[in-house]
Amino acid sequence: MFYDETKVFLKAGNGGDGCMSFLRQKYMPNGGPNGGNGGKGGDLILQADENVADLRNYHFKKHWKAKNGEPGRGSDQNGKGGDTCILKVPMGTEIREIESGELICELLDHEQEVLLLEGGKGGRGNATFKSSVNQTPRQFTEGKMGMEGEYKFTLKTIADIGLVGFPNAGKSTLLNVMSNASPKIDSYPFTTLVPTVGVIEFPDDFITLTMADVPGLIEGAAENRGLGHRFLRHVERCKLLLFLLDLAATDERNPCDDFEHLRKELVEYDPKLGEKPFVVVGNKIDEENAAQYVNEFKKRFPDIELHVISALLEDGLPHLKEKLLENLS
């Protein structure tokens, strides 16, 4: 299972209470106050980590809490501060407060940190209240409560290129032959059920690009049908979209109509997706009926270049890689 959304309850540590104490030693019957301060509660910090793939840790454990600060003690001993709780999340994780729905932060870069909840301040011991007019103070304060709240974690895949296409268009095959990824490949719809990111290498230019194969769309995805929003949110952060069309019309769908439907679903979900740069690729050019759909596409969309390939036979891939690099340079 791939977990890209979950709800959690988070709490920073409470501050330790201050101590009321007086010095009691032989030959010092009138020893002064020596109660120490309480320690500060631990903070709760979020950290993006490229080695974390999804949100499974927070799906199975819903409550996370930083350590409380220790109370102060006599002999002017201050309490130890609570340990910080660091929660590691995948890059691309979005944090929202559940009650208000407010976007708190997004963690996009490796080792990026956000202080989400601050620990409570430690209480004051009675030694801090001593003054010239108050030699034996009995005042002390309790530690403050740490911040807490309920949050929603949502993972949105970060990649240079997002593969967009209907089921059986050949997205997994294309990613497999162009990168180091090994997604599941088969001839039935929705083989890809989780986002898969592969790395495309350009050794001569010392450049790498990341390409994400995400679950295939169906009509009505913008209304959350099928995998709906769970798919669409994974293309929001991609710099370039690659529309992959099935020139063999495997499921008796016209690839030209598919392109129109794909664009429509993206724009209905988020108009900003319609503004992203894109390339259109026709797959399975080796099939008998592919040529007629290529000609139809050129007539219906004369201003859009169609790149034809056969992912299975690895035909046309070098030229496609050059076009992808050109569009992202």
Q: Counting runs of H as helices and runs of E as strands, what totals does the chain give?
A: 6, 14
- Residue 297 clears pLDDT 60, i.e. is over it: yes
pLDDT (average), residues 145-168: 89
Residue 1, pLDDT score: 62
**Does residue 206 carry a pLDDT above 60?**
yes
Residue 180: the pLDDT is 64
Q: For residue 186, is pLDDT > 50?
A: no
- Superfamily of segment(s) 161-328: P-loop containing nucleotide triphosphate hydrolases (3.40.50.300)
pLDDT for res 147: 96
Q: Are strands 240-246 and 161-164 parallel, antiparallel or unpaired?
A: parallel
Q: What is the mean pLDDT of residues 290-299?
A: 94
pLDDT over threshold 90, residue 178: no
Segment (H or E) for 263: helix 255-269
Residue 155 has pLDDT above 50, yes or no: yes
Domain with CATH 3.40.50.300 in the chain: 161-328
Structural element, H or E, at residue 72: none
The predicted pLDDT at position 236 comes to: 80
Distance of CA 2 to the CA centre of its chain: 13
Q: What percent of the chain has pLDDT over 70?
A: 88
pLDDT in tens, 96-137: 999 999 999 999 999 999 999 999 999 999 999 998 888 889
**Rounded CA separation 154/93 (Å):** 6
Provide the pLDDT for residue 230.
60
Mean pLDDT of 37-60: 93
Nearest-angstrom CA–CA distance, 287 and 301: 22
Average pLDDT, stretch 74-92?
A: 94
Across the range 86-96, mean pLDDT stands at 93
Name the nearest CA neighbour of 92 among 268, 272, 262, 233: 233
Q: Please list the residues that pair with 64 across neighbouring strands.
A: 10
DSSP3 helix / strand / coil % (the chain, rounded to 5): 20, 25, 50
Q: Helix 255-269 crosses helix 290-300 at what angle (to 10 degrees)?
A: 50
3-state secondary structure of 109: coil
Give span(s): CATH 2.70.210.12, the chain.
1-155
What is the overall mean pLDDT for the chain? 86
Position 185 scores a pLDDT of: 42
Provide the 8-state DSSP code for 137. Answer: -
Say whether pLDDT at 255 is over 80. yes
- pLDDT of residue 184 exceeding 50, the answer is no
CA distance 84 to 98: 23
DSSP 1-19: ----EEEEEEEPPPPPPP-
Architecture of domain 1-155: Distorted Sandwich (2.70)
**Residue 63, SS3?**
strand
Retrieve residue 159's tokens: 């990649």
Asked if 74 contacts 34 with a C-beta cutoff of 8 angstroms, the reply is yes
Look at residue 189 in the predicted model and tell me its pLDDT. Answer: 40
